[in-house]
Amino acid sequence: MTARIIRGTEISPIIREEIDKETKSLKLQHGITPGLVTIIVGQNPASVSYVTAKQKAAKDLGFYSLQEDVPEEVTEEALLELIAQYNDDTAIHGILVQLPLPKHINETKVLYAIDPDKDVDGFHPVNVGRLMIGEAKFYPCTPYGIQQMLVRSGVTIDGAEVVVVGRSNIVGKPIAMMLIQKAEGANATVTICHTGTKDLAAHTRKADILIVAAGKPKAITADMVKEGAVVIDVGVNRIGMTPEGKAKLCGDVDFDAIKEKASAITPVPGGVGPMTITMLMLNTLRAAQFTVGKR
């Protein structure tokens, strides 16, 4: 079997078109432009490239967008003050603090400081709790993108055996929580594997849908995948530079071998990555719509 390639580069423009229409209608009917501020502490190259892409997407959609470049040495207190300022700014509907933060800053404290109604990343404990009880206001962007890729490519999630490799707060835990909900585009049986899992392959081989966010190249090889499985690769590993000076990327799965066994697979780059940014735009639009009770 040669797998169908599920590309975020193809699905995400369709969702951006939908966002664009709703944005124009929100402006026309309520005079509201979705506003997003991205805050980056220091100049970690990966974080800079993510935030630049988020800013570009916001501008392309006609959002009001601001970028705060904060020096690495900023105090926790000053960062919390900056967040408080945007919590009070009515032109800003979404606040995103790019992670990871420098070691001297308490990440949990920073995430708690963001107004949950402006938490377009969905990382505030209130939003994490809402997700758990099936009352989510914002879905974290990468899990939301994964779910949309599955739904929009016609993959049946209802009743599927889903195996998630990785238990991060950004991907592994929230995607598992989303897919177990008794809801459309969910209702799966989900197993979460992690570095403490004894026999990883025994679990991954049972998966109808295998979602890998392990942070390790070739963590999943072809012998670990069931014939006909759907494989979603969330990994973004930098493995050098292209001759043009761009970062060379690979995912967490052995793409070339697994594409001969799976029924569908996402590539890296061009798979989950473009979806994450698009879902951030959708969350920002939703945050703006909430202010006028449109959703």
- Residues labelled as active-site residues: 54, 98, 121
Residue 286 C-beta: closest distance to ligand GUN, Å: 16
- Choice between 23 and 142, CB closer to ligand GUN: 142
- Choice between 143 and 267, CB closer to ligand GUN: 143
The verdict on 53 binding ligand GUN (CB under 6 A) reads no
- Choice between 47 and 191, CB closer to ligand GUN: 47
The verdict on 98 binding ligand GUN (CB under 6 A) reads yes
Size of the site for ligand GUN (CB under 6 A): 9
Q: Looking at beta carbons, which residue is closest to ligand GUN?
A: 99
The verdict on 264 binding ligand GUN (CB under 6 A) reads no
Residue 224 C-beta: closest distance to ligand GUN, Å: 25
The verdict on 247 binding ligand GUN (CB under 6 A) reads no
Query: Cα separations (Å) of 85 from 81, 89, 95, 193, 197?
Result: 6, 6, 11, 40, 43
- Interactions with ligand GUN, residue window 119-138 (CB under 6 A): 121
Three-state SS for the chain is CCCEECCHHHHHHHHHHHHHHHHHHHHHHHCCCCEEEEEEECCCHHHHHHHHHHHHHHHHCCCEEEEEEECCCCCHHHHHHHHHHHHCCCCCCEEEECCCCCCCCCHHHHHHHCCHHHCCCCCCHHHHHHHHCCCCCCCCHHHHHHHHHHHHCCCCCCCCEEEEECCCCCCHHHHHHHHHCCCCCCCCEEEEECCCCCCHHHHHCCCCEEEECCCCCCCECHHHCCCCCEEEECCCEEEEECCCCCEEEECCECHHHHCCCCCEECCCCCCHHHHHHHHHHHHHHHHHHHHCCCC
- Interactions with ligand GUN, residue window 8-37 (CB under 6 A): none
- Choice between 46 and 202, CB closer to ligand GUN: 46
Site for ligand GUN (CB under 6 A): which residue of 15, 36, 58, 96? 96
The pattern of x and - marking residues 140 through 179 that bind ligand GUN according to CB under 6 A reads -xx---------------------------x---------
Residue type, 258: I
Residue 15 C-beta: closest distance to ligand GUN, Å: 16
- Choice between 96 and 231, CB closer to ligand GUN: 96
Which residues of the shown chain bind ligand GUN in the complex (CB under 6 A)?
96-99, 121, 141-142, 170, 276
